[in-house]
Structure 1
Amino acid sequence: MKITAKLCLLVTIISVLSCKTQQGKFEFLTPSTGSRVLKGEKIQLKLNFPNPAVDSVVYAIDGNVFERKVDTTTVLFDSNEIGYGNKRLSATVYAAGKEDITYSELLIVPPAPKPYAFEVVQTYPHDPNAFTQGLYYDGTILYESTGMNGRSSIRKVELATGKVLLKKDLEEKYFGEGMTVVGNEVFMLTWESNIGFVFNKQDFNTIKTFDYQQSKQGWGLTYDGTRFIKSDGSNKLFFLDKSSLKETGFIQVFDDNGPVDSINELEYIDGKVYANLYHADKDIIVIIDPNTGVVEGKINFVGLYDGKRASTGNEMNGIAYKSDAKSLLVTGKDWTKLYEVKLKDR
């Protein structure tokens, strides 16, 4: 009986202390940590205050103070004031000469991208030994870069027949990646060698090379008329000076689910960046606003290619714009076909 009585007393004390601890916890009630917030929403910040007698409360996002109050009333925060991605919300309370701080993690996202369907306009032959990494169409000739060590090259291709008109092989140590054409020059990336090449458009003679800076790998490359835009397999688009080819900054890419990683081959079309996503089981192209990093559109090309494919290594890759027809030219690594497609509202 004595043991039982002591045990009951102990359980009661633990229960009381637990309740007091819970009641005394300074924390966010809303928004809860991990909340996904649509950009533009006003967020109600509500806290649990153990003691309502406070001297002041300071609110901050990623360390930047946006509100100071001398009471415990709720605060409205406009998510338009911050960028996309993971943000750390904090509240610091000052009372009786002491301070306490609590946090809540938020994910700020844009609206869901617009889904697009597609229509196949024409099908062209494609070299099944071309591990496609980049495409560019200048109105008459298709330029193509290919990858893999020992197979990497830059090519001129006759669109209608798939015939290779001119080909320059890279040294075996280089794994070729994305490319674009500007004026009389071809700009091509390599994957992990931290080097890009500039070739003469006519004969593919090497003009010069350039190094990467913050971006550590080369994936996709395009040109918007004033600067180069480069991907490195992350959720970032890097901007390069058109003359020096030095990186001048970057923007992160987001959709309604958060950061969009594995951004690969790029093509700049009418103010937007079209990008392949590197997925073995998904043939996806996204349409990105390069000013905000928002994915505004998404095209699901699953089912487009009816050729034989391995589980990996045959991903969709390569986007070129056929401006006269306002259509896309798309293919994949070692695909036997290249497709001309037009987008349709879904």
Structure 2
Amino acid sequence: MTVWRALPAALVLAASTLAGCAAPTPAVPVWHPQVLAERPHDPTAFTQGLELAGDTLYEGTGLAGRSQLRELDPATGAVRHAVGLPGELFGEGITVVGSRIWQLTWRDGVALEWDRATLRLLRQVRIDGEGWGLCSQPGAGRLVRSDGTDRLRFHDPVGFVETGSVRVTLDGRAVPGLNELECVDGQVWANVWPTDRLVRIDPADGRVTAVVDASGLLDPSRRGGTDVLNGIAALGDGTFLLTGKRWPATFRVRLGP
């Protein structure tokens, strides 16, 4: 089953804006991922969030009634432990905050707090709007959430109270469809739905500072039955893991000039 979301005019504009990045201004470079290695990925996983913490790769998956929070072996992609979300909740982005893991839901209006050691659900917290991507900025004392619009929303990491937001722009134009997030060195990386592009965002003012064109990362012969690129995890050595919904592989890549 593939979940289809209707494309509002703003998303069509965003896709065309990103597609037009082949001739960027000098301030906004376009990079292609340099593939360093390929690792297996569960092709049944409707990937919504991906994050490495310690020696464990955490993955949040979606689809109503089938959503999970998973612990993976980062070297092999094997599932070490998985728990289902309650009822029909549709899981979205995840992030690790100390001994806890926060997980968004799409349109259910709640964020889930899990115990990291046991993957035991601790509580559900109400949120306004949709949940798409999530990452943590410990230095700023906040979480960053995307909701499918052109805004990044900031939350307190303890109570998940929203504390502010910023509009994301590329060359002065809004970039909606912000999806899975990864916070790295003060910047926010975001998948842009429904493209195979990523953007690097300065959360101080919302400006896109780089675009990554990952089209072709998964060979077209292997794209049958898959969905869009969605999943980015920083490895701490300047490289990242990239994957997608129902992709059979995860790629270790370097992003940059």
TM-score range with shorter-chain normalisation? 0.7 to 0.9
Give the whole-Å Cα distance in 2 for the aligned partners of 1:254 and 1:111.
16
Cα shift at 1:140: 0.9
Residue 337 of structure 1 pairs with residue 241 of structure 2:
no
Residue 199 of structure 1 pairs with residue 114 of structure 2:
yes
Match of 1:308 in 2: 222
Match of 2:10 in 1: none
Candidates 210, 232, 250, aligned match of 1:297: 210
Match of 1:144 in 2: 59
Residue 260 of structure 1 pairs with residue 172 of structure 2:
no
Candidates 256, 277, 285, aligned match of 2:198: 285
Cα shift at 1:276: 0.2
**What SS does structure 1 have at the residue aligned with 2:205?**
coil
- Residue by residue, what CA displacement relative to the aligned partner does 1:257-310 show, whole Å, maximum 9, x if unpaired? 61000000000001100000011xx31010000000000100000000125325
- Structure 2 residue identity aligned to 1:299: V
Candidates 136, 161, 164, aligned match of 2:79: 164
Candidates 231, 235, 239, aligned match of 1:318: 231
- Structure 2 residue identity aligned to 1:331: T
* Structure 2 CA distance for partners of 1:111 and 1:236, relative to 1, 3 Å: farther
Candidates 14, 21, 28, aligned match of 1:113: 28
Q: Is the 8 A contact 1:152 1:172 kept in 2?
A: no
Q: Is the 8 A contact 1:111 1:255 kept in 2?
A: no
Give the whole-Å Cα distance in 1 for the aligned partners of 2:56 and 2:126.
28
* Structure 2 CA distance for partners of 1:111 and 1:209, relative to 1, 3 Å: farther
**What SS does structure 2 have at the residue aligned with 1:186?**
strand
Cα shift at 1:210: 1.0
Give the whole-Å Cα distance in 2 for the aligned partners of 1:159 and 1:248.
33
Q: Name structure 1 gaps, 5 residues minimum.
A: 1-109
Aligned 1:114-133 pairs, distance under 5 A? 114-133=29-48
Residue 187 of structure 1 pairs with residue 99 of structure 2:
no
Match of 1:224 in 2: 137
Give the whole-Å Cα distance in 1 for the aligned partners of 2:193 and 2:227.
11
Q: Is the 8 A contact 1:137 1:322 kept in 2?
A: yes
**What SS does structure 1 have at the residue aligned with 2:255?**
strand
Using structure 1 for the length normalisation, give the TM-score: 0.64
Aligned 1:68-107 pairs, distance under 5 A? none
* Structure 2 CA distance for partners of 1:175 and 1:274, relative to 1, 3 Å: same
- Structure 1 residue identity aligned to 2:231: G
Residue 177 of structure 1 pairs with residue 89 of structure 2:
no
Aligned residue pairs: how many? 230
Q: Is the 8 A contact 2:97 2:157 kept in 1?
A: no
* Structure 2 CA distance for partners of 1:219 and 1:120, relative to 1, 3 Å: same
Give the whole-Å Cα distance in 2 for the aligned partners of 1:263 and 1:199.
24
Residue 271 of structure 1 pairs with residue 183 of structure 2:
no
Q: Let me know the Cα RMSD of the aligned residues.
A: 1.6
Cα shift at 1:139: 3.3
Candidates 138, 141, 158, aligned match of 1:243: 158
Cα shift at 1:336: 0.2
Cα shift at 1:247: 0.5
- Structure 2 residue identity aligned to 1:197: L
Match of 1:85 in 2: none
Q: Is the 8 A contact 1:234 1:261 kept in 2?
A: yes
Bigger Rg, which one:
1
Cα shift at 1:111: 7.5
Give the whole-Å Cα distance in 2 for the aligned partners of 1:331 and 1:186.
20
Relative contact order higher in (CA < 8 Å, ≥ 6 apart): 2
Using structure 2 for the length normalisation, give the TM-score: 0.86
